[in-house]
Structure 1
Amino acid sequence: MLCSQSAVIIQVYGPSFWAEKERWWRTMELKSQMKALNYTKRLLTGDTDRMLPWQEEPQKPAFSQQNRRAVPLPRSTPEQQGVSSAQLEQLVRQLAEIPGAAVHNLIVIRHGRRIFSAGFAPYSPDLWHVTHSLCKSVTGTAIGLLWDEGNLKLDEPLSALFPEHINMFTSRRTRMLTVRNLLAMCSGVNFREAGAVLEKDWVRSFFEAEVQFEPGTRFDYNSMNSYLLAAIVRRRTGQSVLEYLTPRLFDPLGFGPVAWETCPLGTEKGGWGMYMMPEDMGKLALLYLNGGVWHSPDGTSRRILSESWVRQATTARIRGEQGAYGYQMWPLEGGAFTLNGMFGQYAAAFPQTDTVVVLNSGSANLFTDSPAFTLLKKIFRDPASFSETALPDDPPAAQRLARCSNRLVFGRTAPGDLPAAAPLRWYQRLAQKLLPPPPPAAPTEAETAARLLAGRSFTARDNRAGLLPLIVQCMQGNHTPGLQAVSFVMEADTLTMRWQENNQVYALPLCFDHPCPCVLEIGGEEWRAAAVCRMTHDEDDHPVLKLLVCLPEHSSTRILKFFLLPEGVQLQFDESPSMLGALRQMEGNPQAEMFLQVFKDISFARHQVLQFCCPRLELQESSPS
């Protein structure tokens, strides 16, 4: 049929048709590249007032469990499921010691029961967390349900699903694309997440983009494949992905609140932009570990996904530099697999030990490999790590694990165990009465910070960095004009930082023993926030107030350092994960060539990123009123 159509086209339009078609495609590609270059240049030169040709509305909703409260997994002690509390304590301490692991939450599920959970304050398993690409497995599950219901074929051509986007200029490779190509990340379509920021109709842009190779022949990780899968769910069912999955997945598994950002035309992004409860991430991995059958806490069982779909999704379909890939998830050795999102989001299933592990992080890794995940695989893939039968109760080990997990703080090593206070002997009590009192203790970090900063106010000039990390600004389309002023006041015996940007003032309590949570409304979006505070010194022994401004719903952290110098106060911005780290990964990447042409060389590009997201400002102190 296609051959006969081509013959007709050639007869009507002549041989020049193919040359015209090539020019048309090159024009579309050039327009897309120029939009991306213009966006990048505006971003890195600080011109963020008109980033997009349309007004982007805030999408991140406020966290609430009022409308949807999770049904928790059954709970158990570790020992009852063959795991020692001492092993888990050692794991937590090892994770806290790994440089750059930046662990947020850890949940361990064995034999279908949650045996351990902990958050590194201010992060908590009781608060939803961004999934990044982990939600691709949610989108893939929606496709699996459609396939199980007989409403979709994996080899169905995309041209049949979206015929309005097929025309005489559509390439042969584009016409060959199937649902299976999207699932296995082997479509070769060159319309990517970065380009989606600049386009309004993502489906149209997907079909207009170049297909770089024969579909199905190479692995090419592209989040827009997942977006198109979400668009297929909407096209085939008339429902959004959330609407479709609620009675089929979220309700049966007892999910808590979920939110999913959408494209400009209202379809879920499919491959990113989702917020889920950490335990619900584990529930989805547990469903696949159990072959598609869900065992409810009330003892009933229900098949959600066919065994055939589970086998197809968790089996390697194609391989690339990052490893094997199934259908929107990552198969591992020995039948294990992981749902994975960038910056260290994992929901990994290990059939060898009948275990699911959920890890939320803010690490710098973009794919599955990371030191933290390597440690998890080493422990949970080994059947010798755990017992198949229950272990004897170990109250002292359980108490040590509880004390350790309850005192975890993000960015700090795991606390040492607190020995029980021994009663004073008779001579110690006598000495307390007869001897003079000991000298006063040195000032605490909180007292030092209050002495040096309370009551002081500062203004910032020529600055575009704000409280939200640059990565978050780009992901949310929530750009800032930058810090305008900052002051420090005492409120209820707590030093509080008042931060002004975009003519709004945000109050952030600075608690040094344990992060104090607060809620900030930035650019129309509500963000949970808390600062991990330290008083330290620079190399010249000048005092430095270091703040890790955590966003417990997200993977990114804003880092602020106030250098209290004799000549004045300087403020250094940074963030973790770092935009500079992402830029370093671009070096040597052919796809970065257009980017580098804008900024002449990589050194200048790095300088621009450094000046925009990591500037060091000389603050101007205001006279007290």
Structure 2
Amino acid sequence: MKIPRQFLGVNYISKIVDNFQDHVGNTGTAVTFHEPKDCKDVPLEKAATWELSLNAAITTDLIRKLACDPNCALDGLAVCKGESLLFEAYRTPYSERYPHITNSTCKTITAIAVMFAISEHLLTQEDYVLSFFPEYDNLLTPKHTKKLTIYHLLTMTSCSKCNEIVSVTDDDWVRAFLTLDCQYEPGSRYIYNSMNTYMLAAILNKVTGMSLVDYLTPRLFKPLGIGNIRWELCPKGIERGGWGLHLSLDGMLKIGIFLANDGAYHGKQLIKPALIKEMKRVNIHQDADALATGYGYQIWHLPGDLMMLSGMFGQHVIFSEDTQLVVAMNAHNDKMFPDSVLVKHVIRYMKNPQTFQPDGDWKERLQYRHLLQVVSAFQNGYSLKNDWNLLQYHTYCKKQQDILAAKGQKVLEWCRAFDGKRLRVNTETMKLFPYMLQGLYSPGPFSVSDISFKLKETSLKMCFYKERNRKDADTGRERIELEAGADAYCIQQIPVGGNRMDVAVKVTPATDEDEHKVILLDIIFLEEGIHRRIKFFLFGEKVAVELAEYPDMRAIVEQVITGDAVIAGNTYDIADKIPEGFRVLLEHKVEPKIYATLLDLTSKKK
């Protein structure tokens, strides 16, 4: 069986498109999580490049390429070889304190759980899915659904019509999956669909009598020293399986090590090697012109001996069984599938023979020191476009700090125009929450009609007021307060639907093509890897407001329209309904341009 060139499903596109209807009344429900109990992070031991037979200069070049290429939109990068860590680095304001959403990367972890269950004789690949849910096996059960097996779920060949939109429209995802028929005969075609992996999680919940996290904790997470994780649950309290896992780069590396070692870690075999080898074996063959060459049990094959755990927007783990090299990354780019600039850079690094040839002793040690400097600069958010030698590093850091401080002072001076004033939108409301966030968590758009400002010594405090509605007379207007740092991000929590999310907020100065002053407000949802950017263009008492979000919804839907990506489950059903004019709607919705008026609070009542 071969995967067509347009192969990877856009896991949440259906939900996001649905949210373009702007259901103002939808405030969202709280997302619940499972976290491992009595399980702590045990960091990997660090080693230098010459100890790992790696070339520091080539590794430094990789970091520069990924950090400087805007198409990569890199948030974090980690490299290890064997079971030793070379480095783990997050670009500010990201850090290991806020485990990043892995998107579809966690599908592979769910498949690992299935292999543990097989090793304990709790199920087999040939078992029929309905055998675990006999209550849905009746005269009304669709004929193709009766044929579904564990193997079909593992290999994305169920051909089920039930896709991720069910997570918005239904509170019983198992029922929805088993009462809908399949598009084609199970096993006849590859159709990427996250509900396949959710069903694996639901089956594991049935056969083990415990949650997926609780099942994996003594078998995988605790032996690997992975503690700082949490997995989002469906309305029935089952892990989502195919998405929703928050995990650090360290944890991602350890999963890669486990797979590269055929289920062994620190000299201990955690599962039979044959089962992990079976999981990694190619089941679906890919045409040679595509980047991915095949698919195993929820795991991608890349050129050479490389394999990948892949999540949309740049959440990847790539490993080599031969060299034992593992690279993990977080990003917020616009790509839903493996064939991206980010992945191509990493593949070239991992396949380059010189990567595994350190320079002479003294030269390699100097290059390693330089590598550590570049890693530190990346973590501090400094520009890596210009190089420096070892002796220039402190001068370089001082210059970068001075640049950031000068920008901070400039934006604070510009923000005086807002101090003590309220910005009233006079054309249309603006949405504080990005559409991507709405698609993932359905919190409602939080339509903003007013923003008040108060300038502090090193920051700007803002209060976003929700658009008025009939309920306000009884409850008062809903509001969200944010504090934006001028020289550094301010980290805080804000309510998003029924949850509280960690965000980092900063203001920076810019100018437009006509040299008008522009204040850029950057709001980063730290665990979700989603950015909301708001530009305020200053024209005296009039202010133009322009919104953007990253990953860019327009680029994502464009890939669907042009056929560069496939919507999970019901590709043709949705793609055929997206008219050419939808691009105009996206432009208007995702990046609206709004005019507003500044009102002085000393003369105007709130």
Question: Following superposition of structure 1 onto structure 2, how do residues 566-577 of structure 1 map, counting pairs within 5 Å?
Answer: 566=540, 568-577=542-551
- C-alpha separation in 1, matches of 2:36 and 2:131: 40
The code of the aligned residue for 2:559 comes to Q
User: Is the 1:469–1:558 Cα contact (8 Å) retained in structure 2?
Assistant: yes
User: Is the 2:36–2:214 Cα contact (8 Å) retained in structure 1?
Assistant: no
- C-alpha separation in 2, matches of 1:192 and 1:411: 38
The code of the aligned residue for 1:573 comes to L
1:40-98 Cα offsets, whole Å, 9 max, x none, are: 786323233148xxx7333369xx99964301111112222122332222111111222
- C-alpha separation in 1, matches of 2:377 and 2:533: 22
Are 1:503 and 2:469 counterparts?
no
- C-alpha separation in 2, matches of 1:597 and 1:82: 52
- Higher RCO (C-alpha 8 Å, min separation 6): 2
Matched residue, 2:473: none
Matched residue, 1:434: none
The code of the aligned residue for 1:624 comes to L
- C-alpha separation in 2, matches of 1:274 and 1:102: 21
User: Is the 2:319–2:327 Cα contact (8 Å) retained in structure 1?
Assistant: yes
- C-alpha separation in 2, matches of 1:510 and 1:520: 16
The code of the aligned residue for 1:309 comes to L
- C-alpha separation in 2, matches of 1:268 and 1:57: 15
Moved more, 259-268 or 543-552: 543-552
Matched residue, 1:382: 352
Moved more, 613-622 or 489-498: 489-498
Deviation of 1:546 (Å): 2.0
1:60/1:95 Cα in 2 relative to 1: closer, same or farther (>3 Å)? same
Are 1:448 and 2:410 counterparts?
yes
Matched residue, 2:340: 370
- C-alpha separation in 2, matches of 1:390 and 1:160: 61
Question: Following superposition of structure 1 onto structure 2, how do residues 74-113 of structure 1 map, counting pairs within 5 Å?
Answer: 74-113=45-84
Q: Which runs of 4+ in 1 moved over 6 A?
A: 39-42, 64-67, 409-412, 596-599
Deviation of 1:138 (Å): 1.1
1:359/1:202 Cα in 2 relative to 1: closer, same or farther (>3 Å)? same
1:329-379 Cα offsets, whole Å, 9 max, x none, are: 112233321111110111111123220000111111111111111111111
- C-alpha separation in 2, matches of 1:413 and 1:506: 30
Tell me which of 111, 117, 121 is aligned to 2:88. Answer: 117
User: Is the 1:346–1:360 Cα contact (8 Å) retained in structure 2?
Assistant: yes
- C-alpha separation in 2, matches of 1:118 and 1:396: 20
- C-alpha separation in 1, matches of 2:366 and 2:171: 59
1:596/1:256 Cα in 2 relative to 1: closer, same or farther (>3 Å)? closer
Are 1:552 and 2:526 counterparts?
yes
Question: Following superposition of structure 1 onto structure 2, how do residues 308-327 of structure 1 map, counting pairs within 5 Å?
Answer: 308-319=274-285, 323-327=293-297
1:222/1:593 Cα in 2 relative to 1: closer, same or farther (>3 Å)? closer
Are 1:538 and 2:538 counterparts?
no
Using structure 2 for the length normalisation, give the TM-score.
0.85
Matched residue, 2:197: 226
The code of the aligned residue for 1:511 comes to A
The code of the aligned residue for 1:574 comes to A
Q: 3-state DSSP class of the match of 1:333?
A: coil
Matched residue, 1:472: 437
Tell me which of 550, 554, 557 is aligned to 1:580. Answer: 554
- C-alpha separation in 1, matches of 2:543 and 2:359: 60
Matched residue, 2:117: 146
Moved more, 202-211 or 104-113: 202-211
- C-alpha separation in 2, matches of 1:66 and 1:235: 20
1:493/1:410 Cα in 2 relative to 1: closer, same or farther (>3 Å)? closer
1:208/1:537 Cα in 2 relative to 1: closer, same or farther (>3 Å)? same
Question: Following superposition of structure 1 onto structure 2, how do residues 292-307 of structure 1 map, counting pairs within 5 Å?
Answer: 292-295=263-266, 301-307=267-273
Are 1:616 and 2:593 counterparts?
yes
User: Is the 1:546–1:562 Cα contact (8 Å) retained in structure 2?
Assistant: yes
Matched residue, 2:8: none
Are 1:521 and 2:495 counterparts?
yes
Moved more, 397-406 or 208-217: 397-406
- C-alpha separation in 1, matches of 2:115 and 2:255: 13
Q: 3-state DSSP class of the match of 2:169?
A: coil
- C-alpha separation in 1, matches of 2:194 and 2:184: 17
The code of the aligned residue for 1:447 comes to Q
1:504-552 Cα offsets, whole Å, 9 max, x none, are: 232222324x434333333342322223543221121111122332222
- C-alpha separation in 2, matches of 1:42 and 1:223: 18
User: RMSD value over aligned CA atoms?
Assistant: 3.0
- C-alpha separation in 1, matches of 2:320 and 2:361: 20
Moved more, 495-504 or 563-572: 495-504
Question: Following superposition of structure 1 onto structure 2, how do residues 200-279 of structure 1 map, counting pairs within 5 Å?
Answer: 200-279=171-250
Moved more, 319-328 or 371-380: 319-328
Deviation of 1:418 (Å): 5.8
1:66/1:418 Cα in 2 relative to 1: closer, same or farther (>3 Å)? farther
Q: 3-state DSSP class of the match of 2:67?
A: helix
- C-alpha separation in 2, matches of 1:101 and 1:90: 15
User: Is the 2:46–2:85 Cα contact (8 Å) retained in structure 1?
Assistant: yes
1:286-326 Cα offsets, whole Å, 9 max, x none, are: 1010111111xxxxx22112211111111210135764110
The code of the aligned residue for 2:597 comes to Q
1:162/1:388 Cα in 2 relative to 1: closer, same or farther (>3 Å)? farther
- C-alpha separation in 2, matches of 1:264 and 1:563: 43
The code of the aligned residue for 1:387 comes to Q
Deviation of 1:134 (Å): 0.5
1:384-407 Cα offsets, whole Å, 9 max, x none, are: 421389955745433332332222
Are 1:341 and 2:311 counterparts?
yes
Q: 3-state DSSP class of the match of 1:612?
A: helix
Q: 3-state DSSP class of the match of 1:189?
A: coil
Q: 3-state DSSP class of the match of 2:411?
A: helix
Using structure 1 for the length normalisation, give the TM-score.
0.82
Q: 3-state DSSP class of the match of 1:180?
A: helix
Moved more, 326-335 or 184-193: 326-335
User: Is the 2:377–2:383 Cα contact (8 Å) retained in structure 1?
Assistant: no
The code of the aligned residue for 1:451 comes to E
Q: 3-state DSSP class of the match of 1:197?
A: helix
1:443-469 Cα offsets, whole Å, 9 max, x none, are: 933233222222143123565543332
Matched residue, 2:260: 289
Q: 3-state DSSP class of the match of 2:431?
A: coil
- C-alpha separation in 2, matches of 1:442 and 1:388: 35
Instruction: List alignment gaps of at least 5 residues for structure 1.
Output: 1-35, 296-300, 424-440
Tell me which of 588, 607, 610 is aligned to 2:584. Answer: 607
User: Is the 1:79–1:390 Cα contact (8 Å) retained in structure 2?
Assistant: no
User: Is the 2:415–2:455 Cα contact (8 Å) retained in structure 1?
Assistant: no
- C-alpha separation in 1, matches of 2:295 and 2:392: 54
The code of the aligned residue for 1:506 comes to E
Pair member with larger Rg: 1
Question: Following superposition of structure 1 onto structure 2, how do residues 419-498 of structure 1 map, counting pairs within 5 Å?
Answer: 420=391, 444-454=406-416, 455=419, 456-461=421-426, 463=428, 465-498=430-463
Tell me which of 22, 37, 59 is aligned to 2:32. Answer: 59
User: Is the 1:144–1:309 Cα contact (8 Å) retained in structure 2?
Assistant: yes
Matched residue, 2:10: none
User: Is the 1:498–1:507 Cα contact (8 Å) retained in structure 2?
Assistant: yes
